[in-house]
């Protein structure tokens, strides 16, 4: 239940913030939201024993993201699934801690933006350069790392009987 609340809040905030923050190339705000993607990093440990449910949730979330925000059916569903696989692989080898959440968030945002840029290059949609990719990644990190830190603290202070994970 907690994970669905986090995802719903993130999904709605993505829509609200993207309407108020600058999104013009070469004029990106340092607060470019990818909150839904960030929330996937935070909620994975809540699905530790239910990975099928986790992947079903993020694929549905990606489809909703496509329908409401990007109008590219299956684009974000596939990218969220790939990011979910990376998150699963990372959490297999490390534990859930504050610093690691920040590092995983940075890695997942970098992977997501890189895959998006790769697809843009493959289909020649708009001119994409390495400089533009690095610019986009760097301007996505600040808000999303703060957001991941916020949810980490919230999840950490929930009583143990309401969560399935042990947080250091």
Report pLDDT digits (tens) over 58-110: 999 999 999 988 888 899 999 999 999 999 999 888 888 889 999 999 999 99
Tokens representing residue 63 in the block? 């489809």
Tokens representing residue 80 in the block? 């969220």
Q: Hey, how many other C-beta atoms are within 10 angstroms of the C-beta on 90?
A: 16
Model pTM score:
0.85
Q: Which residues of 33-44 are buried (b: 16+ CB within 10 A; e: fewer)?
A: bbbbbbbbbbbb
Please compute the mean of the pLDDT values over residues 149-168 and round it to a whole number. 69
In this prediction, residue 137 carries a pLDDT of 87
Q: Which residues of 105-139 are buried (b: 16+ CB within 10 A; e: fewer)?
A: bbebbbbbbeebbeeeeeeeeeebeeebbeebbeb
In this prediction, residue 61 carries a pLDDT of 93
CB 148 within 8 Å of CB 102: yes
């Amino acid at each position: 239940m907690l994970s669905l609340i986090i995802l719903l809040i993130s999904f709605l905030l993505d829509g609200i913030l993207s309407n108020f923050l600058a999104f013009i190339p070469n004029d990106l705000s340092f607060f470019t939201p990818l909150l839904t993607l960030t929330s996937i990093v935070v909620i994975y440990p809540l699905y530790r024993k239910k990975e099928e449910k986790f992947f079903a949730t993020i694929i549905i979330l990606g489809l909703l993201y496509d329908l409401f925000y990007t109008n590219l059916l299956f684009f974000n569903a596939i990218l969220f699934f790939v990011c979910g696989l990376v998150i699963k692989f990372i959490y297999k080898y490390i534990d859930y801690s504050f610093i690691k959440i920040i590092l995983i968030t940075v890695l997942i945002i970098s992977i997501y933006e890189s895959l998006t840029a790769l697809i843009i290059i493959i289909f020649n949609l708009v001119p994409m350069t390495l400089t533009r990719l690095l610019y986009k990644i760097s301007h996505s990190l600040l808000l999303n790392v703060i957001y991941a830190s916020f949810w980490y603290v919230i999840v950490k202070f929930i009583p143990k009987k309401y969560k399935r994970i042990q947080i250091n």
